[in-house]
Structure 1
Amino acid sequence: MTWNVFWRWGGDYLERAPGIVDTLRACRPDIIGLCETWAGDDLPHDQRGGPPPTALVTTLAHPRGPLHVIVTCLEWEPSYAADQLAQASVVATLAADPRLDGPLPVLVLGDLNAAPGQAEIAPLTSALSDTFAAGGGDPGAKTLDSAVPFAPIEAAHLIDRRIDHILARPAVRVSRAFLAGDRPVAGRYPSDHYAVGVDLDL
């Protein structure tokens, strides 16, 4: 599962936190890649400057061998599209590192700030499989939904699209794909994004 949990933005993060916890308890994901929470390796950001976006690379123990997971959140503003493309290229290179080859796929989880097919993430989507689509996920699914009262509707190129992804190299069997956190909990949406979940046959 991957979920952008909107960090402390919006001023109501303490009120939203129980909804995040309840959603995760209900889904009980084996792996969760949270965005807008912590940092990892710096990514290119020549256009924007300032603190860089990051990619967290980790290896998890699995009965069949090491499971390599990369969690990231890419640039979102159209004026910094070159940064986003460069970041996607770096993450794709990380995922393609032959040192990560083994019996299990390499997974890339995160808020890529682009819908499937958008050019800004082509380096990733051309090299890795979209597990949500492979699992029969709704083609019209959106993870940044204008129905959420505090959704960033000014991000016209992202709103009402599926911009959060779980990608795999090589392709893997997926038995289910779903959204979570897409309903209010105690009258409040847990985040401005919905979580993306997949059940992988590993």
Structure 2
Amino acid sequence: MRLVTWNVLWRFEPEWRARERAILTTLERLAPDVIGLQECWGTADQSQAHLFAERLGGVHAAFLGPSLPPVPQPPEHPDQAGVLMGVGLVSRWPIRSVRRHDLPVSHRQIAPVALEARIEHPEEPFDVIVAATEWEPEFADDHLAQTRRLAELLDAAAAGEPRFLLADLNCDRTQAEFAPIAAAADDTWELGGGDADAVTLSSEVPFAPLEATKEIDRRVDHILVSHGSGVAVESAFTVDAPVGDLFPSDHFPVVVDVRLGS
């Protein structure tokens, strides 16, 4: 099966509606089975995850919020008013349960959530966690606490059963915040022979957040799988090209192809 994780830049500029169409174009081309979304929008009657599920063929979706970053107050434009920042999941197979996990915070007023879901794959059910973590350098203690909590959730996988983390961790393998995750899970990027020099938050994108000095030009988006899961990773890559003349997001999606139960 094919898994994708992608920070899709909410309803931020530039041209969020055009970017959303470009995101869908990319996903249609990739034809993933499971998608984890960060900076995903949600309203009282719709979410970006559910919209994508409908457009990709009536598959299954879930959405939870709030997530990081905080939404602009006041809104930057009318399309942001009353819209939640969250994390989303799209799955080719039924989502049998969804659990909400509040991630630890000591600096912000609202805790971001991690979405944990049980997916009923016809051959082997598995769990998926979708999350986004802190990024501000001055909040590094929260960043580390959040990756430790995600590591605990990965460690809670039943023996031999796959549990995937699809996340914008705002750190790469060399940074301290990644260490708890590395102790709890295998990096599908390395297992799948992904390019060692790849980045997912690139200064080559015209609207990239260059002020994010801790994250820029690093591979900060990840798909990991719990130790001892029996999952074989066949490939791992990013999609770093614009659609037409527009980059769909400031992050590049991470794509991995895996086989269960090997």
TM-score, normalization: structure 1?
Answer: 0.94
Indicate the SS of the match to 1:198.
strand
Q: Which residue identity is paired with 1:174?
A: V
Q: Deviations over 1:154-181 (max 9, x none)?
A: 111211110000001125311110112x
2:179 paired residue among 106, 109, 122: 122
Q: Deviations over 1:30-89 (max 9, x none)?
A: 11000011424321111x222222100000011233210000000001100100110111
Indicate the SS of the match to 1:89.
helix
User: Any stretches of 5+ residues in structure 1 without a counterpart?
Assistant: none
Q: After TM superposition, give the deviation of residue 150 of structure 1 in Å.
A: 0.4
Q: After TM superposition, give the deviation of residue 11 of structure 1 in Å.
A: 4.5
Paired residues of 1:59 and 1:68 also in contact (CA < 8 A): yes
Higher mean Cα deviation, 166-175 or 138-147?
166-175
Identity of aligned residues (%): 45
Higher mean Cα deviation, 102-111 or 138-147?
102-111
Q: Which residue identity is paired with 1:21?
A: L
Q: CA RMSD in A?
A: 1.3
2:21 paired residue among 13, 18, 23: 18
1:51 aligned to 2:110?
yes
Match of 2:135 in 1: 76
Counterpart CA distance in 1 for 2:140 and 2:110 is: 17
Paired residues of 2:116 and 2:129 also in contact (CA < 8 A): yes
1:7 aligned to 2:10?
yes
1:194 aligned to 2:252?
yes
Match of 2:234 in 1: 175
Counterpart CA distance in 2 for 1:104 and 1:23 is: 30
Counterpart CA distance in 2 for 1:147 and 1:49 is: 30
Paired residues of 1:143 and 1:194 also in contact (CA < 8 A): yes
Q: Deviations over 1:92-151 (max 9, x none)?
A: 111111xx3155311001100001121012111121100011100000000000000000
Counterpart CA distance in 2 for 1:66 and 1:201 is: 13
TM-score, normalization: structure 2?
Answer: 0.73
**Structure 1 residue runs of 4 or more that deviate by more than 4 Å after TM superposition:** none
Counterpart CA distance in 2 for 1:64 and 1:169 is: 18
Alignment of 1:22-41 (within 5 A): 22-37=25-40, 38-39=64-65, 40-41=100-101
Counterpart CA distance in 2 for 1:91 and 1:45 is: 13
Q: Which residue identity is paired with 2:254?
A: V
Indicate the SS of the match to 2:145.
helix
Indicate the SS of the match to 2:9.
coil
Paired residues of 1:66 and 1:102 also in contact (CA < 8 A): no
User: Any stretches of 5+ residues in structure 2 without a counterpart?
Assistant: 41-63, 66-99
Of structures 1 and 2, the larger Rg is shown by: 2
Kindly tell me the number of residue pairs found equivalent between the two proteins. Answer: 198
Counterpart CA distance in 1 for 2:167 and 2:25 is: 20
Paired residues of 1:64 and 1:104 also in contact (CA < 8 A): no
